[in-house]
């Protein structure tokens, strides 16, 4: 997948050692990419029936997360069911599955263990979709795992064994079958994906004062039993200021449609997507230029246990299994636990699982209740129109935060009635002040014991930058938002386009050792026929600035 991050020249030199600790190692190319499309298309595959229509469990925007699909039970040993394939001098195992009519597939494992050197990739027969590589760095403590949402009805799981492959386990116990709320790969309509067309992209001018908070927001692929769907959440700081990977979302994001909560194993399979956003204010025509930064696994720390706000403020605090990689450029948002109505602010979220959006309010929030049984648990917020649109919330925005003028979290979204055709209808956010210690007397019903585990007594906290460990004096990469810069297709088989809204002065191509292997002087199409398969760094000089992206050549 395309990385749209600006890296320092110093960071290029550290690329190889840093990616070894990344959630997904994109420096490794699938062996199957050396096979022709025809060879991959004709691979034998296992077919599974499309499950019953899930519209009956799909929520409206009233305190329930939108179900995108259901899980088909499976009992698949990937290696035993795969086709053993010789590619050059190496051996890989290719397992192909198909569920006709599915819009997307999610491989869920109950036994996932890779030894050092073993690798997993997921991709399509035409090589246009690709997720990976997964390595031993992706192992979980209990074997439950997921490989993220794969768009399409058919996918290939490639397993390359390492030297200690006898210790590997790859058992697929469920296949998530998505039937709605799947981001479209290409659209000709004005909006991108499935959100409404009045939404405002986070990199529009409305987000200029909120760039840090923007980096804290994640799209969450939640799983509750046999159902899965979308919510939004926010990485959050604590008084230890130590980058503990806490993420705040809504209690109702962990509730099954027939009642009951997600299990510990479910939380181990929650998937968190970072930086899924347009690079500027316009909607892209394709998501091929969007990043695919995600990590899998969390544990539930505290939750309001109020059935989604019916008897409380509807909060859920999870701890990610690992800290987001330094490349993800994550910010840990600040918060305010005082019961003070914000007189203005914003919300940042992923409506209908779409790219990141921003909503703005300029009239004071008012105190309200969601379920009607406990008073003053929520803030009622009314959005306003801005220059770029009229940001509202939708299904999938649930759990996202609102920020006060001091850029602190003061609430999390339960639900409401704002739509493009009713933009002034209010939305209700569970109060952070109520989350703090008012949902109950036990530690599991409060935020305070976890966000202030030091017992400082602080009731507000500023956000902090991401943490980088083990890299002395590292220069932190950051994302640029002041220029449109696209490199596509990526991966490429030999030709690609480099386009920018600023004049490109020079293009340099480096291999992973930092050696200059090519250069050019214009935007438009570039031929990289001279490059062998591998990962390269493209450095572009435009209007006095340097922009760097990774290019994958797969011939």
Find the CATH number of the domain harbouring 351: 2.40.10.10
Instruction: Indicate if 99 and 243 belong to the same structural domain.
Output: no
Structure tokens at 320: 């990610």
Structure tokens at 166: 């006898």
- Give the residue numbers marked as catalytic: 252, 314, 398
Instruction: Indicate if 166 and 251 belong to the same structural domain.
Output: no
**Dihedral sign from CA coordinates of 345, 61, 395, 433:** positive
Polymer length in residues for the chain: 555
As a whole number of angstroms, the distance between CA 316 and CA 301 comes to 8
Instruction: Indicate if 513 and 453 belong to the same structural domain.
Output: no
As a whole number of angstroms, the distance between CA 540 and CA 189 comes to 31
285 belongs to a structural domain: yes
Q: Residue 525: which domain range? A: 485-553
Q: In 241-292, at which residue ranges do the beta strands (DSSP E only) sit?
A: 246-249, 271-274
The pLDDT of residue 186? 45
- CATH number of the domain enclosing 67: 2.60.120.290
As a whole number of angstroms, the distance between CA 298 and CA 264 comes to 9
Instruction: Indicate if 213 and 66 belong to the same structural domain.
Output: no
As a whole number of angstroms, the distance between CA 18 and CA 326 comes to 9
Q: What is the dihedral of CA 275, 280, 285, 286, to 10 degrees?
A: -20
Instruction: Indicate if 216 and 149 belong to the same structural domain.
Output: no
Structure tokens at 315: 């909060």
Instruction: Indicate if 364 and 276 belong to the same structural domain.
Output: yes
Instruction: Indicate if 456 and 390 belong to the same structural domain.
Output: yes
As a whole number of angstroms, the distance between CA 381 and CA 209 comes to 20
Q: Which residues, at least 6 apart from 519, have a Cβ–Cβ distance to it below 8 Å?
A: 506, 507, 508, 509
The last residue of a domain, from among 427, 461, 495: 461
CA-wise closest residue to 197 among 482, 474, 44, 389: 389
Helix (H, G, I), strand (E, B) or coil at 498: strand
The pLDDT of residue 546? 61
Instruction: Indicate if 285 and 400 belong to the same structural domain.
Output: yes
Q: What is the tally of structural domains in the chain?
A: 3
194 belongs to a structural domain: no
474 belongs to a structural domain: no
The last residue of a domain, from among 391, 426, 461: 461
The pLDDT of residue 53? 65
77 belongs to a structural domain: yes
Cis before residue 201, ω within 30 degrees of 0? no
Instruction: Indicate if 432 and 497 belong to the same structural domain.
Output: no
29 belongs to a structural domain: no
**Dihedral sign from CA coordinates of 294, 323, 3, 394:** positive
Q: Which single residue is written with the structure tokens 């040993």?
A: 77
- CATH number of the domain enclosing 496: 2.60.40.1930
The pLDDT of residue 58? 45
Instruction: Indicate if 445 and 532 belong to the same structural domain.
Output: no
As a whole number of angstroms, the distance between CA 76 and CA 165 comes to 18
Q: In 321-400, at which residue ranges do the beta strands (DSSP E only) sit?
A: 334-336, 345-349, 357-361, 366-368, 378-381
Instruction: Indicate if 286 and 423 belong to the same structural domain.
Output: yes
151 belongs to a structural domain: yes
347 belongs to a structural domain: yes
Going across the sheet that includes 485-488, the strands are 485-488, 495-500, 524-527
The last residue of a domain, from among 461, 476, 511: 461
Provide the residue-wise pLDDT of the chain in tens; the chain has 555 residues.
222 222 222 222 223 233 333 467 777 889 999 999 899 999 999 888 888 765 544 444 556 788 889 999 999 999 999 999 999 889 999 999 999 999 999 999 999 999 999 999 999 998 888 898 999 989 988 899 999 999 899 999 999 999 999 899 999 999 999 988 776 554 433 345 678 889 999 999 999 999 999 999 999 999 999 999 999 999 999 998 889 999 999 999 999 988 899 999 999 999 999 999 988 898 887 666 677 789 999 999 999 999 888 899 999 999 999 898 888 889 999 999 999 999 999 999 999 889 999 999 999 999 999 988 899 999 999 999 999 999 999 989 999 999 999 999 999 999 999 999 999 999 999 999 999 999 999 999 999 999 998 888 999 999 998 675 433 332 233 333 344 566 767 777 777 777 666 677 778 787 766 677 888 766 567 777 778 888 787 877 765 556 667 787 877
Under DSSP, the state recorded for 200 is -
The pLDDT of residue 472? 33
Instruction: Indicate if 310 and 342 belong to the same structural domain.
Output: yes
475 belongs to a structural domain: no
The pLDDT of residue 551? 80
């Amino acid at each position: 997948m395309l990385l749209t991050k600006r890296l320092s020249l110093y960071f290029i030199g550290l690329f190889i050692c840093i990616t070894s600790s990344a959630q997904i190692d994109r420096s490794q190319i699938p062996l199957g990419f050396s096979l022709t499309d025809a060879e991959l298309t004709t691979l034998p595959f296992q077919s599974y029936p499309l499950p019953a229509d899930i519209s009956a469990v799909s929520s409206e925007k009233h305190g329930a997360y939108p179900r995108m699909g259901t899980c088909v039970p499976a009992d698949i040993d990937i290696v035993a069911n795969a086709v053993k394939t010789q590619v050059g001098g190496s051996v890989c195992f290719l397992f192909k599955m198909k569920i006709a009519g599915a819009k997307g597939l999610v491989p869920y494992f109950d036994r996932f263990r890779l030894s050092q050197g073993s690798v997993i990739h997921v991709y399509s027969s035409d090589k246009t979709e690709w997720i990976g590589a997964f390595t031993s760095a992706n192992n979980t403590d209990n074997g439950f795992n997921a490989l993220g949402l794969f768009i399409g009805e058919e996918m290939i799981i490639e397993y390359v064994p390492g030297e200690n492959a006898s210790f590997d386990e790859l058992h697929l116990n469920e296949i998530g079958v998505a039937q709605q709320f799947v981001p479209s790969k290409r659209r000709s309509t004005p909006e991108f994906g499935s959100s409404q067309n009045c939404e405002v992209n986070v990199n529009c001018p409305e987000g200029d004062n909120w760039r840090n908070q923007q980096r804290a927001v994640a799209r969450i692929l939640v799983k509750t039993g046999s159902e899965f769907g979308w919510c939004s959440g926010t990485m959050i700081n604590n008084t230890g200021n130590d980058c503990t990977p806490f993420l705040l979302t809504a209690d109702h994001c962990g509730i099954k449609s027939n009642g009951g909560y997600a299990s510990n194993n479910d939380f181990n399979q929650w998937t968190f997507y970072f930086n899924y956003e347009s690079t500027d204010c316009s909607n892209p025509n394709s998501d091929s230029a969007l990043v695919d930064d995600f990590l899998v696994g969390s544990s539930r720390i505290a939750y309001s246990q109020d059935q989604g706000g019916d008897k409380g403020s509807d909060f859920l605090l999870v701890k990610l299994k690992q800290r987001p990689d330094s490349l993800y450029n994550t910010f840990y948002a600040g918060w305010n636990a005082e019961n003070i109505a914000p007189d203005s602010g914003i919300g940042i979220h992923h409506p209908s699982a779409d790219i990141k959006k921003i909503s703005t309010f300029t009239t004071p929030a008012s105190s309200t209740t969601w379920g009607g049984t406990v008073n003053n648990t929520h803030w009622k917020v009314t959005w306003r129109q801005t220059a770029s649109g009229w940001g509202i919330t939708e299904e999938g925005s649930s759990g996202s935060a609102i920020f006060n003028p001091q850029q602190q979290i003061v609430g999390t979204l339960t639900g409401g009635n704002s739509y493009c055709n009713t933009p002034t209808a209010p939305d209700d956010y569970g109060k952070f002040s109520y989350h703090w210690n008012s949902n109950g007397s036990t530690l599991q019903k409060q935020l305070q014991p976890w966000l202030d585990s030091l017992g400082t007594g602080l009731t507000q906290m500023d956000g902090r930058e991401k943490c980088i460990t083990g890299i002395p004096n590292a220069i932190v990469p950051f994302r640029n938002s002041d220029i449109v810069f696209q490199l596509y297709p990526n991966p490429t088989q030999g030709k690609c386009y480099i386009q920018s809204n600023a004049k490109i002065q020079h293009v340099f191509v480096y291999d992973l050792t930092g050696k200059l292997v090519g250069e050019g002087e214009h935007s438009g199409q570039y031929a990289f026929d001279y490059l062998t398969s591998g990962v390269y760094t493209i450095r572009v000089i435009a209007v006095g600035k340097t922009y760097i992206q990774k290019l994958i050549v797969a011939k």
